[in-house]
Amino acid sequence: MLETKKISDWHTINARKDKTPLSYKKLNSLIKESVNNGHKLIKLLDVCGQRFIGAGLECSEKDPIELEIHGVPGNDLGIFMDGPKIIVKGNAEDQIGNTMNSGTIIVEGDCRDVAGLSMRGGKIFVKGNAGYRIGIHMKEYQDQIPIIVIGGKAKEFFGEYMAGGILIALGLKYENSKISNFENFISPNLASGIHGGKIYIRGEVPENYLGIGTVKNTLSEEDHQILQPIIKEYCEIFNINQEFIWEKSFYKIIPGSHRPYAAYYTAKPI
């Protein structure tokens, strides 16, 4: 963690020049140039849809890098990232954390579709709502377990084809600085084709919303031990009372088989 963040510590890059947005190539070139010059805290202003921000950035825990984004970053924020932290002071577009290896992405608003596509490690925390196919093709290896937490609603195919990792939907509703619960916040085809990993849903999940190859369970003691530190971190990031989160029960969605579509293929070539 970065301990002190004085104004003088930040290196600022403006994503517009003379009211004209920089190309995504130019902006990413400036970010990499800043990192190569030794800057560890980089603030991006007036971001307006530039893609691939933070692409392939690397750092270690002992020598961290943090990007703070003001504006709306475009698709593939943090793609192939390995270590840095990215904080979005607003909304984000599609495919944040695409094939991310490690690090943290925090979105203080909503995100769009396919967040965490093929994510291999690290964490994504979204305060608000998310689009379609969140966590599709997430995977894990040994102690590398990717985590995505969506604070609000999530649309269809949440956790589709998951092969590993942890995906959480909380169903929190934010209005006028107050927090409440959405009545319906998860959508049909939940975890369709899942063959690894775990999905935790805060609140009831209708049986007809479950996708192909899924099993719904109540939480075990092991599940509580997995969830508690993640929920604690989410609540600390967004300044939420943890007790409110635990007022509703969670359900766990897991694979019923490692081959959920086996029955849909012919036994022999035609």
pLDDT in tens, the chain (270 residues): 444 566 678 999 999 998 899 999 999 999 999 999 999 999 999 999 999 999 999 999 999 999 999 999 999 999 999 999 999 999 999 999 999 999 999 999 999 999 999 999 999 999 999 999 999 999 999 999 999 999 999 999 999 999 999 999 999 999 988 999 998 999 999 999 999 999 999 999 999 999 988 999 999 999 999 999 999 999 999 999 999 999 999 999 999 877 777 666 656 666
Could you tell me if residue 105 is inside a domain? no
Q: Within this chain, do residues 161 and 73 fall inside the same structural domain, yes or no? A: no
Q: Within this chain, do residues 172 and 243 fall inside the same structural domain, yes or no? A: yes
Q: Within this chain, do residues 161 and 243 fall inside the same structural domain, yes or no? A: yes
Cβ neighbours for 238, distance < 8 A, ≥ 6 positions apart: 108, 125, 127, 151
Q: Within this chain, do residues 143 and 246 fall inside the same structural domain, yes or no? A: yes
The domain of 73 spans 8-85
Q: Within this chain, do residues 71 and 202 fall inside the same structural domain, yes or no? A: no
> Judging by beta carbons within 10 Å of its beta carbon (0-12, 13-18, 19+), is residue 246 exposed, middle or buried?
middle
Q: Within this chain, do residues 252 and 173 fall inside the same structural domain, yes or no? A: yes
Could you tell me if residue 95 is inside a domain? no
Q: Within this chain, do residues 170 and 242 fall inside the same structural domain, yes or no? A: yes
CA–CA separation, 92 and 115 (whole Å): 10
Residues linked to residue 250 through DSSP beta bridges, in sequence order: 202
Q: Within this chain, do residues 129 and 163 fall inside the same structural domain, yes or no? A: yes
The model's pTM is 0.93
**DSSP states of 211-234 as a string?**
-TTEEEEE--HHHHHHHHHHHHHH
Could you tell me if residue 140 is inside a domain? yes
Q: Within this chain, do residues 75 and 117 fall inside the same structural domain, yes or no? A: no
Q: Within this chain, do residues 170 and 81 fall inside the same structural domain, yes or no? A: no
Q: Within this chain, do residues 145 and 242 fall inside the same structural domain, yes or no? A: yes
Structure token pair of residue 209: 């919303």
CA–CA separation, 261 and 150 (whole Å): 27
pLDDT value for 98: 98
Q: Within this chain, do residues 122 and 232 fall inside the same structural domain, yes or no? A: yes
- CATH assignment of the domain containing 163: 2.160.20.60
> How many domains does the structure of the chain reveal?
2
Could you tell me if residue 269 is inside a domain? no
